[in-house]
Amino acid sequence: MPTAAAPAVPPVRRSRVAAFVALTKPRIIELLLVTTVPVMFLAERGVPSLWLLAATLVGGVLSAGAANTFNSVYDRDIDGLMHRTSTRPMVTGEVGVREALVFGGVLTVVSTVWFALVVNVVSALLSLAAIALYAVFYTVLLKRRTAQNIVWGGVAGCMPTLIGWSAVTGTVGWPAVVLFLVIFFWTPPHYWPLSMAFRDDYASAEVPMLPVERGPVAVGRQVVLYSWVMVATSLVLVPVAGMGWVYTAAAVAAGVLFVAEAHRLLGAAKRGVTGHALKPMRLFHYSITYVTVVFLAVAVDPLLLVPLAG
């Protein structure tokens, strides 16, 4: 772990409750839920039970909160070295290590038991696996050791697709696997632009994100490659799940814009554009729009029942 002293952090005023909520990284949780609910609509081929939806969302919030809390504890040293994360509760001292670990442990137990008793055992096991993948596989084993940390560590962020499907069916079906892969291939071109924008932060914290280890052109090429594979994978869902025109049109349109933006980033890098002028955050922000549009279409398509043929 990096041993450099953390810079002075400006005081942050928030209640104890707000500090513990901040540990769970609510913005990340919101994005995870965006990929959970639509899959439930697809699995149901209609509107799932509102009680099941609510129960799954509660379990998902608790599970993701647990994983993010453990991440906050382990990464408190490097968070203190990066401007973007310097006001997190573990850095400012608003929450102690022991109480954060207890908090994360309680969330883990409660989320697992909740899923097992209220949803089903398969979803409980998948939820527990997601916590372990993010808190241990990504945070402890990969993040500080390899530039491929986001690629393989991103598996944890794909788990909500499986959890959403299993909540409705009690199994893991091929449509859920395809959507799992969509998020898997989406994660690098979503996160690498962010780490390009904050390259100096990651470098000072000695975190080997790809933009720290490689130049903008090399990163841009990887972003383009993953973007094309992601879009192609999203279209595999059409025959696998019998999707109609609504999903197909949304996936194609959103995918074309994503690939175009990825090529813009690579083109700018090839022209020697660097720093803020490269505008990597354009792709980062659009990537959130992309996943929202595609998964909204996943939910809406079964409701409208407009087939591709006939």
Domain boundaries, given as residue ranges, for the chain:
17-171, 173-310
Higher pLDDT, 256 or 273: 256
What mean pLDDT value characterizes the chain? 92
pLDDT of residue 30: 84
Place of tokens 């690629």: 151
What is the pLDDT, as a whole number, of residue 16? 86
Question: What kind of architecture, by CATH, is found in domain 173-310?
Answer: Up-down Bundle (1.20)
Burial-class residue 272 by CB neighbours within 10 Å (0-12, 13-18, 19+): exposed
Per-residue pLDDT band for 247 (boundaries 50, 70, 90) equals very high
What's the pLDDT score for residue 31?
A: 81
Residues with Cβ < 8 Å from 303, sequence gap 6 or more? 41, 46, 47
CATH architecture of 17-171: Orthogonal Bundle (1.10)
Highest mean pLDDT of the ranges 75-79, 115-119, 146-150: 115-119
Indicate whether 278 pLDDT > 70.
Answer: yes
For 198-207, letters b (16+ CB in 10 Å) and e give: bbebbbbbeb
Q: What is the dihedral of CA 113, 114, 120, 121, to 10 degrees?
A: -20
d(CA 121, CA 114): 10
Range with lowest mean pLDDT among 118-127, 275-284, 299-308: 299-308
The stretch 53-80 carries a mean pLDDT of: 95
pLDDT tens-place string over residues 205-245: 999 999 999 999 999 999 999 999 999 999 999 999 999 99
Q: What single-letter DSSP state applies at residue 170? A: S
The pLDDT value given to residue 6? 41
pTM score = 0.91
- Residue for token pair 């933009």: 211
Q: Is the pLDDT of residue 180 over 60?
A: yes
Structure tokens at 51: 């009680």
pLDDT above 50 for 1? no
State residue 308's pLDDT score: 65
Q: How far is C-alpha 35 from the chain's CA centre?
A: 9
What pLDDT is recorded for position 235? 98
The pLDDT, as a whole number, for residue 12 is: 53
Cα separations in angstroms, 209 against 116, 212, 287: 36, 5, 18
What is the reported pLDDT for 13? 57
pLDDT on residue 304: 87
pLDDT score of 285 more than 80? yes
pLDDT at 270 over 80: yes
Mean pLDDT of 65-84: 93
Percent of the chain with pLDDT over 70: 94
Q: What is the model's pLDDT at position 68? A: 95
The residue ranking higher by pLDDT, 42 or 9, is: 42
The pLDDT confidence band at residue 3, using thresholds 50, 70 and 90, is very low
> Which segments of the chain does DSSP mark as H helices, in order?
16-23, 26-34, 37-44, 50-74, 76-79, 89-92, 97-114, 121-132, 149-153, 155-169, 174-197, 199-204, 210-213, 216-241, 245-270, 280-304
Q: In this model, does residue 183 exceed pLDDT 70?
A: yes
